[in-house]
């Protein structure tokens, strides 16, 4: 079958001991690695705290303290009970496989605490790659990969449903996977090979098992598989299992022969889509339903109890007099009468979490008797829980309950206080879990070392890289930050753009600060067209701002922060703008998808196309990246994802072609090395065919590699160097937040010797990439005690 290996074909190893991805990468790099020095770097996440949709939680039923989280764009995590933090499991995924950072489902083997499985794939769009099952036998320390002949949708509709991937509790060799558009699939060798269950009902691939959002219709398909453990014996495949399809028609199906044949469950409700199914210790099942799969919309729903022994269905919806979606349900593994569920999409006034101790006959709202501790992530005080798509009760501690939201995970350690008339306390459990997507980064020469524009969270002035802080001071406070820039000669002067969603209301969607981002005020007005946000640049002297609003047909110029606007000449729609870092009269614009370049030498009044060799080289290149030189007027650096990296001027001359670079994802400039007047160049892309992060101290004459195969973070989208700290860089990932990196100085007291990466491909006689284990954090380097 296309896309599925035959049983005689060897597995494709993604990370597996000495045959890890490090060897694959360095073998490709071997011809050039002798000429490029490898510099050990220590990377750490810029602490924001969560920030994205954690779409699922899974506890291991037989080992205390072992549980996992999956996210829609930021990979998967395992909770480290000893360290009290999340450990990222998928940072090894590199740029070409960035689509695998969306985890559509997660499963553990109930009979083997070491085995964990990820159904990976972010999108089902034509340009997205096929999905894969990533399987691990050591709790996610290493993974092997089985490619699938269909796509997954970890960031699409229904991503909070589940789990669509399940392991047989009696025979760990057997797994089932419910796909979005290709029906039901089965593996009998620990997920190494997969075959389609052709007998599964056709409704799973019918139009009714799809849903539509403002962009397109998406297949949702089979959203959960649930085994009936009472029907099996250890060492033998379980005979009875259920599968649910996201359709308002007949949706729940049962097999009593190990998945070979299927039939609908009698008496089931119709008219709503199921999204979760859990089994109680007494054999009863509980299902949550919504009119839509979520998370974009869900306006109606229900919670039902199903008792297979009597074929009885009972509706147990907590609110029967209010319309609301219901996006999750769970049961205490040791007390089948204790249930929890939550509304979904009930934004007015807010979503509610419910608890029952009598099997769903009566429910108690939890949040009115809850207190939330915002100390670990101060910004969460401005957010109420929403998108509660997964709720879990710890199988070893009934007081320990977790639920996910659109921005992270809340956890309680005293849930049963509710039954005693007390207060339930919640803490934001996101240490180590970062899932923001930064859309803009700046590192000015004074003030805070890093400021960001963040998708869904506006943006931050990062005064302390290791402490979660409040977003930019409101007003204004944007739902999405899209662009941020500073005036090079007046670096305390900063502009940013963003946009608002309902119910945030209307506001000017651009703001400026004259104190380095501590306080902000909105522009006086917006241009006469467009939808705000978009791309924004401020002149080097701060006297002019150019704004290309989203969906505007023109680019606009203001000299008074929005009191007056003038459409610039020579530019159209869909462009990004930037300012020259030296000459206040120069601005630039470019089309990311076509590579077209434009320049202005009169303060942004008129723009003209940049032709010549530079324009010709850029033309037709998609995913174009352009930056102004930090140290020269009229000089640009231009790169693209599949092209070379060039330095040229605004007359169109190519001043330098950087040899060996064949792909550019992001680049930036940092403080010069001691004794040099050349800014350090940082590049995320391909050098001599090898993907990685590189730096050059001598204007590209030689390069040093500064990442390793365990820490790739998908595709890097934005990168800036620090102009005040030699070697420091900041970069935005495709779903794992923002990272900063520093060279590991083995001579510095307290830093310690870099430890060799265990996956160093020694057999290939290739150099080890040093990577320190738990090196000091930014705060610790300023004087705190170093962790052991």
**Six token digits for residue 675:** 């004794």
Measured at the alpha carbon of residue 215, what is the angle toward residues 213 and 221, in degrees to the nearest 5?
A: 50
Q: What is the pLDDT of residue 348?
A: 86
The tokens of 278 are what?
């859990």
Average pLDDT of span 117-141: 97
Q: From the CA atom positions of the chain, what is the Rg in Å?
A: 27
For residue 353, what are its two tokens? Answer: 């979490």
CA distances from 464 to 44, 46, 88 (A): 13, 9, 22
Side by side, the strands of the sheet bearing 195-196 are 165-167, 175-178, 184-187, 195-196
H helical segments located in 97-182? none
- Of residues 104, 113, 89, 170, the one with CA closest to residue 396: 113
Residues 6+ apart with CB under 8 A from 594: 619, 620, 621, 622, 624
276 near 56, Cβ under 8 Å? no
Q: Is the pLDDT of residue 93 over 60?
A: yes
C-alpha–C-alpha distance, residues 761 and 456, integer Å: 40
Round the average pLDDT of the chain to a whole number and report it.
Answer: 90
pLDDT digits (tens, 9 = 90+) for 245-265: 999 999 999 999 999 999 999
What confidence score (pLDDT) does residue 36 get? 61
Query: What does pTM read for this prediction?
Result: 0.89
Q: What is the model's pLDDT at position 728?
A: 97
Paired residues of 328 in beta bridges: 342
Is the pLDDT confidence value at 200 over 80? yes
- Is 109 among the catalytic positions? no
pLDDT-derived band of residue 643, with 50, 70 and 90 as boundaries? Answer: very high
First to last CA, the chain: 51
Contact 688, 31 (CB under 8 A): yes
State the average pLDDT over residues 90-104: 97
> What share of the chain has pLDDT > 90, as a percent?
85
pLDDT average, residue stretch 139-143: 98
Question: What class does CATH assign to 57-428?
Answer: mainly beta
Q: With 80 as the cut, is the pLDDT of residue 64 above it?
A: yes
Does position 521 have pLDDT exceeding 70, yes or no? Answer: yes
Q: Check residue 21 and give its pLDDT.
A: 40
**Separation CA 776–CA 86 (nearest Å):** 18
Tell me what the mean pLDDT of segment 81-109 comes to.
97
Is the Cα torsion angle 566, 568, 574, 579 positive or negative in sign?
negative
* Ranges for all domains in the chain classified under CATH 2.130.10.10: 57-428
Where would I find the H helices in 687-785?
Answer: 778-781
Distances (CA, A) of 459 to 141, 509, 770: 32, 13, 33
Query: What pLDDT, on a 0 to 100 scale, did the predictor assign at position 507?
Result: 82
Q: Dump strand ranges (E) for 148-240.
A: 165-167, 175-178, 184-187, 195-196, 210-212, 217-219, 222-227
Strands 480-487 and 458-461 turn out to be unpaired
**Over the stretch 672-696, which tens digit does the pLDDT of each residue have?**
999 999 999 999 999 999 999 999 9
Determine the pLDDT at residue 773. 27
**Residues 212-227: what's their mean pLDDT?**
95
Rounded-to-integer distance, Cα 544 and Cα 87, Å: 45
Task: Name the β-bridge partners of 178.
Answer: 184
Confidence band of 153 (pLDDT split at 50, 70, 90): very high
132 three-state secondary structure: strand
Sequence-ordered list of residues with C-beta below 8 angstroms from that of 505, at least 6 positions apart, any chain? none
H helices then E strands: how many in the chain? 3, 60
Beta strands in 316-466 (DSSP E): 325-332, 335-344, 353-356, 364-365, 370-373, 391-393, 401-405, 408-412, 424-428, 438-442, 451-454, 458-461
Please give the average per-residue pLDDT across 535-539, as a whole number: 98
> Can you name the residues that pair with 355 across neighbouring β-strands?
340, 364
Q: What is the mean pLDDT of residues 697-725?
A: 95
**407-458 confidence digits (pLDDT tens):** 999 999 999 999 999 999 999 999 999 999 999 999 999 999 999 999 999 9
Query: Which pLDDT band, with edges at 50, 70 and 90, does 320 fall under?
Result: confident
For 565-583, what is the mean pLDDT?
A: 98
Highest mean pLDDT among 13-22, 284-293, 757-766: 284-293
Q: What is the pLDDT of residue 321?
A: 76
- Over the stretch 348-380, which tens digit does the pLDDT of each residue have? 889 999 999 999 999 999 999 999 999 999 999
**pLDDT band with cut points at 50, 70 and 90 for residue 785:** very low
Q: Which two tokens stand for residue 502?
A: 């309902």
Place of tokens 């917006």: 526
Query: Is there a contact between 526 and 563 (Cβ–Cβ < 8 Å)?
Result: no
Catalytic residue among 456, 591, 650, 722: 456
Looking up tokens 């101060």 gives 378
**pLDDT at residue 748, rounded to an integer:** 32
Distance CA(102)–CA(76), nearest Å, equals 8
Smallest CA-to-CA distance from 252 within 233, 270, 232, 235 is with 270
Q: What is the pLDDT of residues 4-44, one digit of tens each?
A: 333 333 333 343 333 444 443 444 444 344 346 899 999 99
Greatest CA separation found in the chain? 82
* Residue 456 annotated in active site: yes
pLDDT interval class at 501 (50, 70, 90)? low
pLDDT for 461-488, tens place per residue? 999 999 998 999 988 889 999 999 999 9
The tokens describing 98, both together, are: 């960035």
Query: Which residue among 72, 332, 430, 707 is the active-site one?
Result: 72
d(CA 5, CA 192): 9
Q: Are 680 and 658 in contact (CB under 8 A)?
A: no
């Amino acid at each position: 079958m296309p896309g599925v290996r035959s049983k005689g074909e060897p597995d494709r190893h993604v990370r597996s001991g000495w045959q890890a991805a490090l060897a694959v990468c360095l073998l490709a790099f071997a011809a050039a690695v002798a000429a490029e020095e490898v510099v050990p770097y220590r990377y750490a996440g810029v602490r924001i705290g969560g920030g994205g949709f954690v779409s699922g939680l899974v506890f291991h039923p037989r080992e205390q303290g072992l549980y996992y989280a999956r996210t829609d764009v930021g990979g998967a995590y395992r909770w480290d009970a000893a360290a009290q933090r999340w450990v990222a499991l998928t940072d090894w995924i590199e740029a070409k496989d960035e689509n695998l950072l969306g985890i559509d489902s997660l499963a553990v083997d109930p009979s083997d605490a070491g085995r964990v499985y990820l159904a990976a794939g972010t999108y089902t769009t034509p340009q997205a790659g096929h999905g894969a099952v990533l399987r691990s036998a050591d709790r996610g320390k290493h993974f092997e990969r089985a490619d699938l002949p269909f796509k997954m949708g970890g960031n699409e509709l229904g991503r909070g449903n589940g789990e669509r991937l399940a392991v047989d509790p009696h025979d760990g060799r057997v797994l089932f996977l419910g796909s979005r558009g290709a029906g039901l699939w089965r593996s009998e060798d620990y997920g190494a090979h997969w075959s389609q269950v052709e007998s599964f009902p056709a409704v799973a691939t019918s139009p009714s098992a799809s849903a539509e959002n403002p962009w397109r219709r998406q297949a949702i398909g089979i959203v959960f598989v649930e085994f009936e453990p009472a029907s099996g014996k250890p060492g033998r495949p379980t005979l009875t299992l259920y599968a649910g399809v996201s359709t308002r028609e007949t949706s729940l199906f049962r097999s009593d022969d190990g998945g070979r044949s299927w039939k609908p469950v009698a008496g089931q409700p119709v008219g709503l889509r199921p999204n979760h199914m859990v089994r109680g210790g007494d054999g009863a099942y509980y299902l949550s339903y919504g009119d839509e799969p979520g998370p974009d919309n869900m306006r109606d729903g229900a919670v039902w109890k199903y008792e297979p022994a009597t074929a009885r269905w009972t509706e147990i919806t907590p609110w029967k007099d209010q319309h609301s979606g219901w996006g999750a349900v769970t049961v205490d593994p040791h007390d089948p009468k204790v249930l929890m569920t939550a509304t979904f999409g009930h934004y007015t006034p807010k979503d509610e979490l419910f608890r029952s101790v009598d099997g769903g006959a009566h429910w108690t709202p939890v949040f009115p008797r809850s207190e939330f501790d915002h100390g670990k992530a101060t910004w969460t005080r401005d957010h109420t829980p929403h998108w509660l798509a997964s709720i879990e009760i710890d199988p070893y501690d009934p007081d320990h309950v977790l639920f996910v939201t659109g921005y992270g995970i809340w956890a309680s350690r005293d849930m049963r206080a509710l039954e005693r008339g007390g207060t339930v306390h919640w803490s934001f459990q996101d240490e180590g879990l970062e899932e923001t997507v930064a859309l803009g980064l700046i590192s000015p020469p004074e003030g805070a070392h890093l400021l960001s524009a963040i998708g869904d969270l506006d943006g931050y002035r990062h005064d302390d890289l290791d402490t979660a802080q409040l977003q930019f001071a409101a007003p204004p406070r944007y739902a999405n930050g899209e662009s941020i820039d500073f005036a090079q000669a007046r670096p305390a002067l900063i502009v940013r753009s963003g946009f608002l969603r309902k119910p945030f209301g209307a506001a000017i969607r651009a703001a400026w600060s004259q104190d380095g981002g501590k306080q902000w005020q909105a522009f006086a007005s917006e241009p006469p067209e467009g939808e705000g946000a978009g791309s924004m640049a401020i002149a080097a002297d701060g006297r002019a701002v150019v704004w290309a609003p989203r969906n505007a047909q023109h680019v606009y110029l203001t000299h008074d922060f929005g009191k007056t606007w003038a459409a610039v000449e020579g530019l159209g729609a869909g462009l990004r703008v930037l300012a020259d870092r030296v000459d206040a009269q120069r601005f630039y614009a470019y089309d990311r998808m076509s590579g077209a370049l434009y320049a202005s030498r009169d303060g942004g009044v008129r723009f003209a196309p940049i032709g010549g060799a530079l324009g010709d080289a850029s033309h037709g290149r998609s995913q174009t990246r352009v930056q102004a030189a930090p140290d020269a007027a009229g000089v640009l650096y231009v790169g693209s994802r599949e092209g070379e990296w060039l330095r040229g001027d605004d007359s169109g001359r190519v001043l330098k072609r950087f040899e060996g670079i064949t792909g550019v994802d992001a680049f930036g400039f940092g403080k010069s090395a001691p004794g040099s007047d050349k800014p350090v160049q940082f590049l995320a892309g391909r050098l001599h065919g090898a993907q990685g992060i590189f730096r050059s101290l001598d204007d590209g004459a030689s390069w040093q590699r500064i990442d390793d195969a365990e820490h790739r973070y998908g595709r890097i989208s934005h990168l800036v160097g620090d102009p005040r700290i030699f070697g420091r860089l900041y970069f935005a990932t495709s779903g794992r937040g923002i990272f900063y990196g520093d060279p590991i100085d083995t001579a510095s007291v307290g830093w310690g010797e870099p430890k060799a990466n265990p996956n160093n491909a020694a057999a290939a006689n290739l150099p080890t990439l040093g990577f320190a284990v738990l090196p000091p954090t930014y705060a610790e380097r300023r004087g705190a005690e170093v962790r052991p």
